[in-house]
């Protein structure tokens, strides 16, 4: 009897030791990921030097601009695709100041009008001569509102910008990336809200869930030649978030660096350690409490936007 009890205790002790070791290894892996890894050298892995280009949609503001600046500093030629020609020109000038050696190109395109039959053929024609080593599918819009209070046009525009553009542009660019001699990469901008329900951001949240699932699934489909990652940050200081501030908010350049750090290794990333920690804590909330708290935050954001 005593021997049986002793064996049982040894088994439980062994399980406890294994559990502790697993947790320690997970903590060490997280520390290496968030504090040990550097930003990936896209020139070396994806052949982005010389006449190759990074194409960034929505690159005149926010996270897209952050990617443009980080890539320019690495010596990558940058093509910005956005609807505001003046803003794109200003950003292109800033990139040349950061690195006079790079080339820049600005392509005017309003993705809200991508329902037009010739929209994507015209867009691809404007970048037909570029060897695209990296695509940042960043363009997006958000409405802070109850879904039923949006107009039909707002719903259609958001779907065209946030969903259709990511899927169709990725399709056309992947077709060209398959023919490259080196690996290529695609970064699809999703969001924390694409994995967790977001009242008052319901349509945006649904679109980001689409981006996330599309990205992870196609990362397996194209793994032989293309690294595809879903980037799911929380709050970043951008015009879309009305310049949010707080302990968990990061700037666009930091966000871009965190994503590029994980690009060669992961199918998805939250990015910054602050966002990973916030996500871990929020996942401990009961669903009902989380939804209620999110709803209150969303209502306050909507009221603040109306005041502005």
Residues 166 and 57: their CA atoms lie apart, in Å, by 9
Q: Is 29 exposed, middle or buried (0-12, 13-18, 19+ CB in 10 A)?
A: exposed
Per-residue DSSP letters for 42-55?
Answer: HHHHH--STTEEEE
Angstrom distances, CA of residue 132 to CA of 77, 94, 251, 288: 10, 21, 26, 45
Q: Which three-class secondary structure string do you get for 232-298?
A: CCCCECCHHHCCCCCCCCECHHHHHHHHHHHCCCCCEECCCHHHHHHHHHHCCCCHHHHHHHHHHHH
- CA angle 228–265–239, rounded 5-degree value: 60
* Collapsed DSSP state (helix, strand, coil) of residue 19: helix
- Of 115, 204, 285, 290, which is the active-site residue? 204
Residue 2, φ and ψ in degrees, nearest 5: -65, -40
Dist. CA 56–CA 94, nearest whole Å: 15
Active site residue 290: no
* Active site positions, annotated: 204
């Amino acid at each position: 009897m005593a021997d049986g009890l002793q064996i049982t205790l040894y088994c439980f002790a062994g399980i406890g030791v294994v559990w502790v070791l697993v947790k320690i290894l997970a903590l060490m892996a997280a520390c290496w990921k968030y504090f040990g890894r550097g930003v990936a050298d896209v020139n070396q892995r994806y052949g982005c030097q010389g006449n190759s280009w990074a194409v960034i949609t929505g690159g005149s503001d926010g996270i897209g601009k952050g990617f443009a600046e980080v890539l320019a500093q690495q010596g990558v030629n940058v093509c910005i695709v956005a609807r505001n020609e003046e803003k794109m020109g200003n950003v292109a000038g800033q990139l040349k100041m950061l690195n006079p050696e790079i080339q820049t190109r600005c392509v005017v395109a309003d993705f809200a009008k991508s329902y037009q039959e010739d929209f994507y053929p015209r867009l691809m024609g404007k970048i037909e001569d570029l060897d695209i080593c990296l695509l940042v599918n960043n363009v997006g819009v958000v409405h802070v509102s109850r879904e039923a209070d949006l107009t039909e046009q707002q719903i259609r525009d958001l779907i065209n910008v946030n969903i259709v553009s990511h899927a169709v542009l990725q399709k056309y660019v992947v077709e060209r990336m398959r023919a490259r001699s080196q690996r290529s990469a695609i970064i699809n901008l999703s969001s924390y809200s694409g994995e967790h329900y977001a009242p008052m951001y319901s349509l945006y949240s649904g679109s980001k869930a689409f981006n996330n699932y599309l990205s992870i699934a196609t990362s397996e489909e194209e793994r032989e030649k293309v690294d595809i990652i879903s980037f799911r940050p929380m709050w970043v200081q951008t015009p879309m978030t009305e310049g949010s501030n707080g302990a968990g908010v990061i700037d666009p350049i930091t966000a871009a660096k965190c994503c590029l750090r994980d690009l060669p290794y992961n199918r998805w990333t939250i990015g910054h350690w602050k966002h990973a920690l916030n996500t871990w804590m929020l996942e401990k909330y009961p669903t009902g409490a989380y939804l209620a708290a999110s709803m209150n935050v969303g209502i306050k954001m909507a009221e603040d936007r109306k005041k502005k």
